[in-house]
Structure 1
Amino acid sequence: MELDLTPCGALDVHCVVNGPIRTNTYIAASGGEAIIVDPAWEGEKLVRVMAEQLPGVRLAAIVCTHGHADHVGGVAGVRRAAGDDVPFLISEADAAIIPEAIRSMRETWGFDHEMPPAPDRLLNEGDVVAFGDVALQVMATPGHTPGGIVLFAPASTGPVAFVGDTLFPGGHGRTDLEGGSEKEIIRSLGKIGSLLPPETLCLIGHNDPTTAKQEVETNLFMRRGLRRYAKEHGAATAG
């Protein structure tokens, strides 16, 4: 795929560390509208936080980077607090894994997340999620889950990518869970490193953010993926 790198719109992002395994839930605002990315838990609380931090801003959508319970567990609560007209968006491939992901987390770790409502829109690579003055471009990045996605915005305030659990600083998300693939996540890391501008702020599903440049230079998994991506696409790569 090709990303549109033309800067457009200001983006204001707030992070709320949320849920039993400290998921980063992001509230991204632009032009009087906002989306909540990966509401992990306590959806009603997330809506209250948004109202306090962004008074008068309308919630336009709930968007999840993948279907694991710690990234969708707050969707139902957000809908109760914000209204059933707020659409829930997730990749087409991951919509089907949500029930099993919630059951697995309950049985394995004892965390019981609420089942979200059925998605209102199924996302695929190349789709756009627009709100306010910005448009998030959808990149398919399987590996942590079959339908993991990255949401990229070339905002005028600086490029931003919501990367979920595909990329971690110096590493990547787990691939030993249902539907995970080490081969696919390495390919996805190469795609991220090849397509995102170096200055892109990568907002991670857990722990601190990083940049595309930092990961290209220091993340050995990404450098491996870059070589694979270059081989498959006939492009130059770093390292």
Structure 2
Amino acid sequence: MQLDLTPCGPVDISYVVNGPIETNTYFAISGDEAVVIDPAWEGEELAQSFAAAHPGVRIVAIVCTHGHADHVGGVAGMRRALGPEVPYLLPADDAQMPAVNIAHQRSAWGIETEDPGAPDRLIGEGDTIPFGTAALQVIATPGHTPGGVVLFCAAEGGAIAFVGDTLFPGSHGRTDLAGGDERAIQASLARLGELLPRETLCLVGHGPSTTVERELATNPFMGAAW
């Protein structure tokens, strides 16, 4: 895969930490359009709060980096709030994951999560998701889940990657849950090190952001893969 690194115009990012596992829900904004990434919880409230803070900007897609319950828990509410014209996108290889993981979180931790419903579009490697003058480029990064993806944007102010739970500062996402694969996530980290510009800002699923350069220098898992 070869990424398009041509700057696509300014992109603003806002985020909310929400849900029982403190997931980062991101909004990527280009002009008068936005994409919400990994709406974790209370989707109707997320949609209303975003509309109040960004008048004149409309959400054109709901995209999840993978199918775990803490990354899709707000999808159903957002779909109700935004209407059927706003599509819900999920990686193809995680199409069955939400139901499985919702059941797991219920039995393991007593967390009730609303089923997001069937996705309007299944995404995979090489797909693009346009918004405003920008676009998210889909990179397949299996390991945390079979269908996990990273969403890359060559923004005018610098490259951005929404990495979900594939990469964390100094570490990577869990591989001990159903569908996890340690060998696969190591290979995914190696691909990210090769594909992404070193200055890329990596916006993670939980906790603080990092950069590719920092992870190549300090992350033992990424170093081993590299």
Same fold by TM-score greater than 0.5 = yes
Q: Residues of 1 paired with 2:110 and 2:36: CA distance?
A: 25
Q: Secondary structure at the match of 1:50?
A: helix
Instruction: Tell me which residue corresponds to 2:2.
Output: 2
Instruction: Tell me which residue corresponds to 1:91.
Output: 91
CA deviations 1:88-111 (Å, max 9, x no partner) are 001100012111011001111111
CA deviations 1:114-161 (Å, max 9, x no partner) are 001211110010000111010110000000000000000011021100
Letter of the aligned partner of 1:85 in structure 2? E
Gaps of 5+ in 1: 227-239
CA deviations 1:64-93 (Å, max 9, x no partner) are 000000000100000111112110001100
Letter of the aligned partner of 1:49 in structure 2? S
Gaps of 5+ in 2: none
Q: Residues of 2 paired with 1:30 and 1:53: CA distance?
A: 15
Q: Residues of 2 paired with 1:51 and 1:45: CA distance?
A: 10
Within 5 A, what are the aligned runs for 1:206-225?
A: 206-225=206-225
CA deviations 1:40-67 (Å, max 9, x no partner) are 1000111012112211101100000000
Q: Residues of 2 paired with 1:97 and 1:117: CA distance?
A: 12
Percentage identity across paired residues of the two chains: 61
Within 5 A, what are the aligned runs for 1:68-107?
A: 68-107=68-107
Instruction: Tell me which residue corresponds to 2:121.
Output: 121
Instruction: Tell me which residue corresponds to 1:192.
Output: 192
Within 5 A, what are the aligned runs for 1:141-220?
A: 141-220=141-220
RMSD: 0.7
Instruction: Tell me which residue corresponds to 1:17.
Output: 17
Q: Secondary structure at the match of 1:159?
A: strand
User: For this pair of structures, how many residues does the alignment match?
Assistant: 226
CA deviations 1:152-184 (Å, max 9, x no partner) are 001102110000000000000000000000000
Instruction: Tell me which residue corresponds to 1:232.
Output: none
Q: Residues of 2 paired with 1:113 and 1:192: CA distance?
A: 31
CA deviations 1:185-208 (Å, max 9, x no partner) are 011011111111011110000000
Q: Residues of 2 paired with 1:81 and 1:43: CA distance?
A: 8
Instruction: Tell me which residue corresponds to 1:37.
Output: 37
Letter of the aligned partner of 1:75 in structure 2? V
Q: Residues of 2 paired with 1:91 and 1:59: CA distance?
A: 19
